[in-house]
Amino acid sequence: MRLLGLVLTALAALPLGAASYDVILAGGRVLDGAGNPWFLADVAIRDGRIAAIGNLVADSARLRLDVRGLAVAPGFVDIHSHGDRGLAATPTAENYLRQGVTTVFGGQDGGGALPLAKTLAGQSAIPISINIGYFAGHGSIRARVMGTENRGATREEIEQMKRLAEEAMRDGAFGLSTGLYYIPGNFAPVEEVIEIARVVGPLGGMHISHMRDEAGGILESVRECIRIGEEGRLPTQLTHHKIIGRANWGLSKETLRMVAEARARGVDVSIDQYPYTASSTGTAALFPQWAQAGGRKALLERLDAPEQLARIKAEIVRRIRDERGGGDPGNVVLASCPFDQSLDGKSLADLCRERGLEASIENAAVVAVEIQRKGGCSAVYHAIGEEDVERILASPYTMIASDGGIPVFGEGVPHPRNYGAFARVLGRYVRERGVVTLEEAVRKMTSMPASRAGLFDRGVLRVGLAADIAVFDPASIADRADFARPHQYSEGVKHVFVNGKPVLLDGKVTSERPGQVLRGPAWRENSQ
């Protein structure tokens, strides 16, 4: 690392006039991000921008890298990330760099801090290796106005939410995120969301949604998400689209048909996906939403009331049997338990046996209540079918996203998507399985999410655009993280440039921190 830093310092000290460009990536297979067939060319960078693409053998650069045999692509854009939670603690975002990701979007699932201007200002003060943008969270907006009450909003409250949404867009949000599965978003009728969407759309924003139900109610949820886009008059996206619960496997045929039909009638709807057969969220996902209204104190009071406790346990049993548990308590694995780290990596079945109980769904529900009483854990839920994963991935309307964050390396047993989502697509689903071509996979990771969010200066290799570039070996790129050992970096990404600066060079993280806090279309418009 010290030697690499000295090399970079020496390169920076060279007079710019002595070279045509800052960097030349020579002889690579250029994947332009638009889905075109790769072609052999040199790519030059100057002043943070792509300066030339072509035969640059006669040109000079302060740094020339021989990338023959490697793919040169736009840096990958993660349109659904939780990187906003860990970027301050780990500004290098190495788990993302080693997948070729150069831009992430936070504020997902209806969450995110308010006011957004304060968040963006704080983030801008931290030198970071990657770019980050934010969505405005409907759940956060609703909680600011009316807490976590289980009721519809009044007209005055809706007007307050619309003002907060507009403020967030003016502050730099790229759109509205909803978490209609989570509280308080789950308590909002679709009409409320549509009214807020009608404020966001004219300001250039999109809607990205963790839908209300990804299991037995998936078809109704897709219909609702499409309706928000259609009646709200803005682009709408089914985020981390999946089919949960064995009884529901195969329903992706119907959800993809619904998306295609909506697009045919003019609704701007799209999809993003992570390539795994397990999801991850808090253990609160096993509990009925009505039981969580009013916050933690109210939930504990309900757990102390025998009649309500019985109703809650019955719903937990149903969700383990039919939905996130996949019919087996062994499929619910704790990822991180702040109150007891010894639980990390253990399933509900393991915890039943440790207590001398049969690993039944009913006993697992008892253990889940015990865990939630102590504050809850994050968990991994194995309940998704591989055929649905591949079918959704193959759709021309699907882009890639991780739904991951920036974990502390070695801490807990998180979902491997944090370390491997993008590399897994390129290794498993392109090279090994042939589900999509290399060019199409790169499009799903670059121009598609970038244009979806309104980042028209990134996501494509074109002269004049921002020089966010990933250089990788198509023959060896692979995810190494798995569910048992998730803290493993992906392999095969050789170089990564963000805004023209090398943040990963010859497989080593550099000292450069050129990442930017990106702001959405209403902020740019407002600032002119």
Structure confidence at residue 298 (pLDDT): 97
Nearby residues of 287 by Cβ (< 8 Å), 6 or more positions away? 299, 312, 315, 316, 368, 372
Structure confidence at residue 2 (pLDDT): 40
Share of the chain above pLDDT 70, in %: 96
Cite the beta strand spans of 75-138 per DSSP E. 76-78, 101-106, 131-134, 136-137
Structure confidence at residue 106 (pLDDT): 98
Structure confidence at residue 13 (pLDDT): 41
Q: Is the pLDDT of residue 9 over 50?
A: no
Averaged pLDDT for residues 446-471: 98
Structure confidence at residue 15 (pLDDT): 53
Tell me what the pLDDT averaged over the chain comes to. Answer: 95
Nearby residues of 168 by Cβ (< 8 Å), 6 or more positions away? 114, 115, 116, 136, 141
- Report the number of secondary-structure helices (H) and strands (E) in the chain: 18, 21
Per-residue burial over 488-505, b if 16 or more Cβ lie within 10 Å, else e, is bbbbbbbbbbbbbbbbbb
Structure confidence at residue 479 (pLDDT): 98
Of 340, 362, 341, 358, nearest to 350 (Cα)?
358
Residue 11's φ and ψ, nearest 5 degrees, are -65, -40
Tokens of 453: 């969010």
Q: Count CB-CB contacts under 10 A for residue 433.
A: 13
DSSP per-residue codes, 436-477: S-HHHHHHHHTHHHHHHHT-TTSSS--TTSB--EEEE-TTT-
Burial zone of 7 (CB within 10 Å; 0-12 exposed, 13-18 middle, 19+ buried): middle
The structural domains of the chain, with segments of one domain joined by +, span: 281-382
- State the Cα–Cα distance between residues 137 and 205, nearest whole angstrom: 12
User: 5 falls in which pLDDT band (50, 70, 90)?
Assistant: very low
pLDDT digits (tens, 9 = 90+) for 35-48: 999 999 999 999 99
User: 528 falls in which pLDDT band (50, 70, 90)?
Assistant: very low
Tokens of 233: 């008059």
- State the Cα–Cα distance between residues 297 and 372, nearest whole angstrom: 12
Tokens 């021309």 map to which residue?
396
Structure confidence at residue 19 (pLDDT): 84
pLDDT digits (tens, 9 = 90+) for 312-358: 999 999 999 999 999 999 999 999 999 999 999 999 999 999 999 99
Given a contact cutoff of 8 angstroms between Cβ atoms, the answer to whether 514 and 129 are in contact is yes
Q: Is the pLDDT of residue 403 over 80?
A: yes
User: 524 falls in which pLDDT band (50, 70, 90)?
Assistant: low
Tokens 């709807």 map to which residue?
269
Q: Is the pLDDT of residue 1 over 50?
A: no
Burial zone of 440 (CB within 10 Å; 0-12 exposed, 13-18 middle, 19+ buried): middle
| Distance from the Cα of residue 460 to its chain's centroid | 20
Local structure of 23: helix, strand or coil: strand
Of 458, 424, 135, 171, nearest to 275 (Cα)?
424
What residues are paired with 497 via a beta bridge?
469, 502
Of 417, 434, 455, nearest to 74 (Cα)?
455
pLDDT digits (tens, 9 = 90+) for 362-398: 999 999 999 999 999 999 999 999 999 999 999 999 9
Structure confidence at residue 17 (pLDDT): 57
Q: Is the pLDDT of residue 10 over 50?
A: no
Share of the chain above pLDDT 90, in %: 95
Structure confidence at residue 393 (pLDDT): 98
